[in-house]
Amino acid sequence: MELTVYLAGQIHDNWRDDMKQEAKKLDLPIHFVGPMENHDRSDNIGEEIKGKQPNAIFKDEAASEINNLRTQVLLNKSDVVIALFGEKYKQWNSAMDASTAIALQKPLILIRPESLHHPLKELSNKAQVVVESPEQALQALSYIFETN
């Protein structure tokens, strides 16, 4: 049995790579997917495919068409969703992906620093698991595969 896990959240450091390498070390049969991590590509993909748009808002709208296509396809394929929140950025995308997972009845693992508990309290309450680091999230995934 292999699991597909969607890694939602910010794309400004290497937390996804760390998780993938750790999972590999543990030999877990997990296939990780996630959003486009090249920030510029993600912002420009709309105009790259659809051409120049009238202004910044329509450029954003064009980009989100393509980004949401990717997310919807990959989220549909996933068994578990992990969403990581950090201190920086608005991260409404992360909240959207996390909430979509819950509404689709896919279990959500929420990773956030303890300091963010208050603004994330309602989302934490809906998540299946709440932890503070990618390492803990991986331990939870690993537990699914444990046999005696």
Q: Nearest approach, Cβ of 23 to a copy of itself (angstroms)? A: 15
β-pairing, 3-9 vs 108-111, is: unpaired
| 82 near a copy of itself, judged by CB under 8 A | no
Query: What string marks each residue from 7 to 26 as x (binds a copy of itself by CB under 8 A) or -?
Result: --------------------
Give the whole-angstrom CA distance, residue 8 versus residue 75.
Answer: 10
Give the whole-angstrom CA distance, residue 109 versus residue 84.
Answer: 9
Strand partners, 83: 8, 110
> Site for a copy of itself (CB under 8 A): which residue of 7, 19, 80, 84?
80
| 65 near a copy of itself, judged by CB under 8 A | yes
> Site for a copy of itself (CB under 8 A): which residue of 36, 44, 47, 86?
36
| 77 near a copy of itself, judged by CB under 8 A | yes
Residue 27 or 122: the one with the smaller Cβ distance to a copy of itself is 122
List, in sequence order, the alpha helices (H) in the chain.
15-25, 39-50, 56-77, 92-103, 121-126, 134-145
User: Footprint of a copy of itself on residues 103-122 (CB under 8 A)?
Assistant: 103-105, 107, 109, 114, 117-122
> Site for a copy of itself (CB under 8 A): which residue of 22, 47, 68, 86?
68
**CA-CA distances (angstroms) from residue 66 to 73, 75, 76, 94, 98?**
11, 14, 16, 17, 19
